[in-house]
């Protein structure tokens, strides 16, 4: 892993751009592509030394790491602020959703709770200055840095969801066929309901259409029941009944 000094050097170089006001220009916003994302990427990609490299004092190590995270918070603030001294919370959440992350993401619970508390207790009117913003995002800075560096599996999530939405509208016009009736739950289904939800391996989410209405999972539930069984009973016991390769048995034999 690269040293803490290398990370600090990258952060220092990025910070100097900030001091000159370079990040205030919209063309440098990571949402539009530019220098800020480069510095975020370089800073976050460089790790700290291993505990055995020079065996630094724990206090110095903790202080250096805290400083690193603090400066990442500053970089993120200037990325979103685009020259403003304070940013509205809704501007942050809008930029966040553009990366594919939702405010309801369990991984962002601490961040969103802190922002909610700020709105309730402060007289800032939902505006965050740099220090307040850094305090809100500190517990989730690694995830947020990844998001705004476009390092998720789908870097340009808005472009991707645009394609999904167009496919959704095209398929929406297909009204042929009949509702399956071999079990009551399916026979009762409304054929006019149509929705699509997706979630990437990095937790980027998107939904369009009738996605809030419960529906019968059918065989989609099998990975869930398999995971629950493994967690409850263990792999050795479960695999006495469920194999990992095609068994040759008829459908639903078990």
148-159 per-position pLDDT tens digit: 999 999 999 999
Pairing mode of beta strands 87-88, 127-128: antiparallel
**Residue 78 CA to chain centroid, in angstroms?**
20
Residue 84's pLDDT is 87
Q: With b meaning 16 or more CB within 10 Å and e meaning fewer, what string describes 82-110?
A: beeebbebebbeebbbbbbbbeebeebee
Q: With b meaning 16 or more CB within 10 Å and e meaning fewer, what string describes 143-165?
A: bbbbbbbbbbebeebeebbeeee
177-219 per-position pLDDT tens digit: 999 999 998 999 999 999 999 999 999 999 999 999 998 888 8
Residue 122's pLDDT is 75
Cα distance between residue 9 and residue 135, in whole Å:
23
Helical packing angle, 89-99 and 109-121, nearest 10°: 160
User: Could you tell me the CA-to-CA distances from 138 to 72, 115, 204, 247 in Å, in that order?
Assistant: 9, 12, 20, 50
∠ CA 30-36-40 to the nearest 5 degrees?
Answer: 95
What letter does residue 201 receive in the DSSP assignment? T
Residue 113's pLDDT is 94
Write out residues in the chain with pLDDT < 50, as ranges: 1-39, 42-54
Q: Are 36 and 28 in contact (CB under 8 A)?
A: yes
Cα distance between residue 202 and residue 74, in whole Å:
24
> What is the reported pTM?
0.66
Domains and CATH numbers, the chain: 4-148 (1.10.238.210), 157-216 (no CATH)
Residue 119's pLDDT is 82
Cα distance between residue 182 and residue 189, in whole Å:
12
Cα distance between residue 143 and residue 106, in whole Å:
12
Residue 67's pLDDT is 72
What letter does residue 234 receive in the DSSP assignment? -
């Amino acid at each position: 892993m690269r040293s803490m000094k290398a990370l600090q050097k990258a952060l220092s170089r990025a910070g100097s751009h900030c001091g000159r006001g370079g990040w205030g220009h919209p063309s440098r916003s990571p949402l539009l592509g530019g220098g800020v994302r480069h510095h975020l990427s370089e800073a976050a990609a460089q790790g700290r030394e291993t505990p055995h490299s020079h065996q630094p004092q724990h206090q110095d190590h903790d202080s250096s790491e805290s400083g690193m995270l603090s400066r990442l918070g500053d970089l993120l603030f200037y990325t979103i602020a685009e020259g403003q001294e304070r940013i509205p919370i809704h501007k942050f959440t809008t930029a966040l959703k553009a990366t594919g992350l939702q405010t309801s993401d369990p991984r962002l619970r601490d961040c969103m709770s802190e922002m909610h508390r700020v709105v309730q207790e402060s007289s800032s009117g939902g505006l965050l200055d740099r220090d307040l913003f850094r305090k809100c995002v500190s517990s989730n800075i690694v995830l947020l840095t990844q998001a705004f560096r476009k390092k998720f599996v789908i870097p340009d999530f808005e472009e991707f969801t645009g394609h999904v939405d167009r496919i959704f509208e095209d398929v929406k016009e297909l009204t042929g066929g009949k509702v399956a009736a071999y079990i009551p739950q399916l026979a009762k289904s409304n054929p006019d309901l149509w929705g699509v939800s997706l979630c990437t391996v990095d937790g980027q989410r998107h939904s369009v259409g009738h996605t809030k209405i419960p529906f019968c999972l059918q065989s989609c539930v099998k990975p869930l029941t398999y995971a629950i069984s493994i967690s409850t009973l263990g792999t050795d016991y479960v695999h006495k009944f469920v194999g990992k390769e095609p068994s040759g048995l008829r459908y639903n034999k078990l």
